[in-house]
Amino acid sequence: MILIISMSKMEDTTDMVMNWLDGLNGDYYRLNGDDFIEKTDIINGQIQFEDFDPEAINIIWNRRWSSSKLINKGNEVYYDALGAQNASALLSSLRRETGVLRSFLNLNLDNKVWTTRPEKMSANKIENLEIAKSCNLSVPEYVITSCKLTLSQFAKRHERIICKPISETPHFTSSIDNNIVESIILYTKGFTVDEIEDIPSSFFKSLFQQEILKEFEIRVFYLCDTCYSMAIFSQNDKQTQLDFRNYNDEKPNRTVPFNLPKEVEYNVKKFCRKAGYTMGSLDLIKSTDGNYYFLEINPIGQFGMVSYPCNYYLEKKLAEHLIGQNEKNKQKRNTKRIV
């Protein structure tokens, strides 16, 4: 059986892959993180799953976990009762509680085959930059500092620099008119040497990189030693020049299928193998000087934006991969029983 670990809502990609699994007669079960937290019991160390046997699992597609809405849905009550500071501490405690539950689930399924191991779901950007360099991929020069003097010295070596989160990009929400909730994302920010003068002498430790003048960006979906690449012509729009996620809905960036040079593709595959990824979405840049730069990888593997424009049918390919792994691992298990 294929186990799909996902969120219960806002998961169109999960739904699409499940549609293909249905069409291809795949044997699967979807376990939503929210449902596990709210409905599943753990009795004396045994997880009481409602309607499936974990012994039947042959492959796990580790898509996502639970939505923060599960914890945050009562925050107004918390704030009214406890005040902002105590409410924040309570919410942090609840997140740690759900984290322990997820860790226990991972432990119980540790001997299973995963598309992405739990410990790889959150990418370490700095570690991956260093692994990429060891695999002969170019990476932008970077510095992590909380000191303005260090930052100024770094900036003077480059015409422009950028600032980006060290870990995953945080998402915030704010309520606006008519009870509409707006999502807020931290985008990549560019700086010149002169603009650094306005920065305080010390600040929270941040990641800065040289800004790479790009010909275009590349999103690569990696699945089991195969690369599916797409070029994103974001450099011609001021809104998307630094960060194509700052989408221009009125005039979207042009996106087309793209073949990585053989050497670059070889190094990308080498990186994924060395870093321990069997799937993921990688961001690269082709610079104006013709070089290819590795930026980062998303281990969850957002691939809808690559699948549709390029007609790669990645949802089908992933479904076929999961079915193949299910049959392969089932045969291994049966062989072990016979022996």
- Which residue type is seen at 88? S
The two most distant CA atoms of the chain are separated, in Å, by 72
Contact yes or no for 227/269 (Cβ under 8 A): yes
What confidence tier does 189 reach under pLDDT thresholds 50, 70, 90?
Answer: confident
Asked if residue 108 and residue 51 are part of one domain, the reply reads yes
Asked if residue 98 and residue 64 are part of one domain, the reply reads yes
Return d(Cα 143, Cα 139) in angstroms, integer. Answer: 12
The mean per-residue pLDDT over the stretch 47-72 comes to 79
Query: What are the angstrom distances between the C-alpha of 133 and each of 65, 108, 210, 270?
Result: 31, 35, 16, 11
Q: Which of 186, 211, 236 is the last residue of a domain?
A: 211
The mean per-residue pLDDT over the stretch 212-234 comes to 93
Dihedral of alpha carbons 82, 85, 86, 87, sign? positive
Query: What are the angstrom distances between the C-alpha of 52 and each of 55, 181, 183, 277, 311?
Result: 9, 37, 36, 28, 35
* Residue 92 falls inside a structural domain: yes
pLDDT at 114: 94
Residue 285 β-bridge partners? 217, 293
Asked if residue 97 and residue 31 are part of one domain, the reply reads yes
Does 307 score more than 60 pLDDT? yes
Residue 73 β-bridge partners? none
* Residue 315 falls inside a structural domain: no
Asked if residue 111 and residue 25 are part of one domain, the reply reads yes
Give pTM, 2 decimals.
0.86
Contact yes or no for 142/209 (Cβ under 8 A): yes
* Residue 242 falls inside a structural domain: no
* Residue 162 falls inside a structural domain: yes
* Residue 250 falls inside a structural domain: no
Return d(Cα 269, Cα 278) in angstroms, integer. Answer: 10
Asked if residue 98 and residue 34 are part of one domain, the reply reads yes
Domain region containing 173: 141-211
Asked if residue 149 and residue 78 are part of one domain, the reply reads no
Burial letters for 313-337: b for 16+ Cβ neighbours within 10 Å, e otherwise?
A: ebbbbbbebbbebbeebeeeeeeee
* Residue 219 falls inside a structural domain: no
Asked if residue 109 and residue 34 are part of one domain, the reply reads yes
Q: Provide, rounded to the nearest whole percent, the portion of the chain with pLDDT above 90.
A: 51
* Residue 323 falls inside a structural domain: no
Number of domains composing the chain: 2
* Residue 106 falls inside a structural domain: yes
Q: Which of 211, 233, 260 is the last residue of a domain?
A: 211
What confidence tier does 331 reach under pLDDT thresholds 50, 70, 90?
Answer: confident
Return d(Cα 339, Cα 335) in angstroms, integer. Answer: 6
pLDDT at 198: 83
Asked if residue 184 and residue 110 are part of one domain, the reply reads no
Across the beta sheet with 28-32, the strand order is: 28-32, 2-6, 59-62
Q: Which residues contact 243 (CB under 8 A, 6 or more apart)?
A: 187, 188
Q: What is the pLDDT of residues 134-163, one digit of tens each?
A: 999 999 999 999 999 999 999 999 888 988
Q: Which of 190, 211, 232 is the last residue of a domain?
A: 211
Q: What is the pLDDT of residues 83-142, one digit of tens each?
A: 666 767 777 787 888 888 889 999 999 999 999 999 988 889 999 999 999 999 999 999
